[in-house]
Every structure is written in structure tokens, then in C-alpha cells.
């Protein structure tokens, strides 16, 4: 019997709010704000975004967010987008939801960081109340920004720690912008007790993953280049051993990797090598709107195309529950629900 992918329990660790809008919402918000639109129906708009994003370049992929960020630059829009994202994740089987955004991107459109974060948290809270699924916010800094701007994003995150912001991340273009440039902002977030996840080893080399671990990250966004041996320095085998021993969790988003050019073929996606190396990973969606997918469809893709058994996918979701930055009681509840579902389905995980 084919798997009903939306009914499979999931843990959302890696999704960007500005990459997850419903196309209809994006269209409405752009019209309300007078943002010039490249298309005038939800389908045509989604197609346009997908074409921009599916370009084989992380830089071009990130540029496709220009429209969504412009659309989100009011408190009402932030609240609505966050609320709808929680609803959409819940419909897709989510038990825990962490959503992320770089709020300071909205400044150029006139919305301040504190106002944006307050509105995003209000939307997450309304979504949680409506669905019963716990949700938290990860604040991102943009790694291509000056260290002072990234520090401001960490300070913003800290002002909302304990009020719904559960973690800190660096996102955006990677090559030429190593996380070490922003070591003080990262240390500030980490020392204040926020969860730390860093995009690393997505477009740039696997060594960036090791740097992220050394900076205190307990989770890595993507990290797939860790499976590739570089021209200099230690090779993939020793880097993967280092990552495995650290216990760091990899938030792996396979289709996004194809769209950004981080990898070129789903059949040979590094997830298989990561599994063989004993790494701690889970399948994540990254951007539902931009890549036209759901987390459920990502499970299906890695199952059908990469040949990963459902048991490995679900073991990954259990690890994701354990790696979540949400409160311990909520993590344990989700872990128990995943175990119970697997037992019911006779899927062996441990």
C-alpha cells in the first residue's frame, strides 16, 4: 500500500517563513502593498518564483526572496504568514514546528526588527492555538551582512528569548562569508542560551561544517558538502567522523539542494552517504513556496528516488524531535508520538 505522506508524523526544524508563503497570500499581500507583481494568478506567480529559484545558484535562489520579503513588510503580513505557515505544517503532519526568518531584511521596507519579531511570534502563537502544535521562531542573521548588522540580529533574537524565539541561525549566500566572520554575534546568542543552528556546507566546502561545530552549533542547515573531499585539508571521512562524534544534527533539504546547485542529482544525493557514515540527520523542506514542495513530498522523494527506507526517514524525525530547540516536555511528547506511530505501522526504529 502506498504511504500517505501527509499523515506521517514530522518535525519541522528547517523552514524559512519568507520561503513558505501560500501563493494566494503572496499575491494578496503584494497587491495590498502595491508591490509590482510578475504574474497575476497564484499559479503563475508560483511558477515564476520556482523558475527564478530553480536556477542552480544559491545567490540567484536567495534573490528570489526579494518579492516575498517586500510583501511581508507590515506587522499584519508577518502575523498572517506565520499563522498560515503553522497551519500548513500542521496539515502536513507536523508535531513540532520551528520556523525561521531574518527579520532585519524587512528594515529596508520600513518595518523594524522588534515589530517584525513581535508580529511573527503573534502569528506563531495563533497558529499553535488553532492547531495544538507547538511552534517557535529562529531568528536568522544574513551572513553576507557586515558583522555589526549580524550582531544586531543576534541582539534582536536575545530580546525575544524566552518569549517565542528559540534559536539563532546564519543564512544567505555562503561562499566568501564564513561563519567565523560573525563569531562574536554567534557567541552572544549561544552564551545567552539560544539554540544555535548554522547554514554550513551548503554551497561552500565541508570544512565550513567543522567551523560551525567549533562555533557551538548543535544543528547544521544542509551540511551536504561534508561528504565531499576537498583539495586541501582533511578529507570527507575524517570530517564526517568529527561531525558524527560531535552529535551535531543535519537539517537536510534535498530538493532545495538541487535548486540552489548545491547538488545536481537526487539519486546521488549525499543523504545516503550521511546515513552510511552514521551522521545524525533529518529530512527537512527549506522553502515550500520557492521549491513547490512539502516536507511530506520530500519524504516521498528521498524514499522513492534515493531509496531510503521509511524506517530511516522516521529515525531521522525522532532525532529531529530530540534536536529541537522547543521545550523538553514538548520534545519528549513528539518523540513518544513518533515512536507510537512507528510501532503501529510496524516500522522498526530505536
The residues that are catalytic are 202
Nearest to 189 by CA among 206, 174, 168, 166: 168
Q: How many residues bind Zn ion (CB under 5 A)?
A: 2
Cβ at position 279, least distance to Zn ion in Å: 18
* Residue with smaller CB distance to Zn ion, 74 or 255: 255
Q: Say if residues 73 and 33 touch (Cβ distance below 8 Å).
A: yes
- For residue 12, the minimal CB distance to Zn ion (Å) is 12
Nearest to 53 by CA among 45, 61, 65: 61
**Residues 211-230 within binding reach of Zn ion (CB under 5 A):** 221
Closer CB to Zn ion, 248 or 342, in the complex: 248
Cell of 144: 553576507
Q: Which helix (H) or strand (E) holds 198?
A: strand 195-200
What mask of x and - would describe binding to Zn ion in positions 261 to 290, judged by CB under 5 A?
-------------------------x----
Question: Read out DSSP for 14-69?
Answer: -BBGGG---HHHHHHHHHHHT---S-SSHHHHHHHHHHHH-SS-HHHHHHTHHHHH
Q: Which is nearer to Zn ion, 207 or 286 (CB)?
A: 286
- The secondary structure element, H or E, covering residue 173 is none
Q: Whole-number minimum distance, CB 222 to Zn ion, in Å?
A: 7
Closest approach of Zn ion to the CB of residue 213, in Å: 18
Nearer to Zn ion, 86 or 342 (CB): 86
What character string, x for contact with Zn ion (CB under 5 A) and - otherwise, covers 96-135?
----------------------------------------
Residue 135's φ and ψ, nearest 5 degrees, are -140, 145
The least CB distance from residue 171 to Zn ion, in Å, is 6
Structure letter (DSSP) for residue 305: T
**Contact in structure between 39 and 48 (CB atoms under 8 Å):** yes
Using CB under 5 A as the binding rule, the residues of this chain from 285 to 304 that contact Zn ion are 286
Nearest to Zn ion of 174, 286 (CB atom)? 286
Assess contact for 103 and 139: CB atoms under 8 A: yes
Using CA of residue 90, residue 94, residue 97, residue 102, what is the dihedral sign?
negative
Q: How far is the CB of 195 from Zn ion (least distance, A)?
A: 15
**In this structure, are residues 59 and 106 in contact, taking their beta carbons and an 8 Å threshold?**
no
Polymer length of the chain: 350
Question: Rounded CA gap, 155 and 188, in Å?
Answer: 8
Of the pair 205, 349, the CB lying nearest Zn ion is at 205
Render the burial of 282-310: b for 16+ CB within 10 Å, e for the rest.
bbbbbbbbbbbbbbbbbbbbbbeebebeb
Closest CB to Zn ion among residues 18, 92: 18
Nearest to 240 by CA among 283, 212, 209: 209
- Which sign, positive or negative, has the C-alpha torsion 4, 9, 14, 15? positive
CB of 17 to Zn ion, least distance (A): 11
The footprint of Zn ion (CB under 5 A) covers 221, 286
Amino acid at each position: 500500500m502506498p504511504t500517505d505522506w501527509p499523515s506521517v508524523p514530522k518535525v519541522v526544524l528547517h523552514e524559512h517563513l519568507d520561503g513558505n508563503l501560500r501563493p494566494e497570500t503572496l499575491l494578496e499581500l503584494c497587491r495590498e502593498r502595491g508591490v509590482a507583481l510578475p504574474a497575476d494568478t497564484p499559479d503563475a506567480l508560483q511558477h515564476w518564483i520556482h523558475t527564478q529559484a530553480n536556477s542552480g545558484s544559491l545567490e540567484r535562489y536567495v534573490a528570489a526572496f526579494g518579492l516575498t520579503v517586500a510583501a511581508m513588510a507590515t506587522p499584519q503580513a508577518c502575523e498572517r504568514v506565520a499563522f498560515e505557515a503553522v497551519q500548513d505544517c500542521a496539515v502536513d503532519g507536523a508535531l513540532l514546528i520551528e520556523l525561521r526568518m531574518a527579520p532585519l531584511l524587512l528594515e529596508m521596507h520600513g518595518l523594524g526588527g522588534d515589530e517584525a519579531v513581535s508580529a511573527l511570534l503573534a502569528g506563531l502563537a495563533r497558529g499553535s492555538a488553532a492547531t495544538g502544535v507547538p511552534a517557535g521562531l529562529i531568528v536568522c542573521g544574513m551572513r553576507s551582512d557586515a558583522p555589526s548588522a549580524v550582531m544586531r540580529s543576534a541582539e534582536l533574537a536575545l530580546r525575544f528569548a524566552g518569549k517565542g524565539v528559540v534559536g539563532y541561525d546564519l543564512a544567505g549566500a555562503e561562499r566568501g562569508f564564513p561563519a567565523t566572520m560573525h563569531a562574536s554575534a554567534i557567541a552572544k546568542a549561544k552564551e545567552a542560551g539560544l539554540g544555535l543552528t548554522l547554514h554550513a556546507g551548503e554551497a561552500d566546502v565541508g570544512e565550513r561544517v567543522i567551523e560551525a561545530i567549533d562555533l557551538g552549533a548543535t544543528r547544521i542547515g544542509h551540511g551536504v558538502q561534508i561528504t565531499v573531499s576537498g583539495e586541501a585539508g582533511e578529507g570527507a571521512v575524517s570530517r564526517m567522523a568529527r561531525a558524527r562524534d560531535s552529535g551535531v544534527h543535519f537539517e537536510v533539504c534535498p530538493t532545495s539542494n538541487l535548486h540552489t546547485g548545491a547538488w545536481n542529482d537526487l539519486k546521488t544525493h549525499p543523504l545516503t552517504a550521511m546515513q552510511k557514515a552514521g551522521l545524525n540527520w533529518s529530512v527537512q523542506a527549506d522553502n515550500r513556496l520557492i521549491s513547490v514542495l512539502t516536507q511530506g513530498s520530500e519524504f516521498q522523494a528521498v524514499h522513492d528516488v534515493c531509496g531510503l527506507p521509511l524506517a530511516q526517514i522516521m529515525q531521522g524525525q525522532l532525532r529531529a524531535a530530540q534536536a529541537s530547540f522547543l521545550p523538553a516536555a514538548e520534545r519528549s511528547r513528539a518523540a513518544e508520538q513518533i515512536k507510537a506511530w512507528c510501532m503501529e505501522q510496524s516500522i522498526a526504529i530505536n
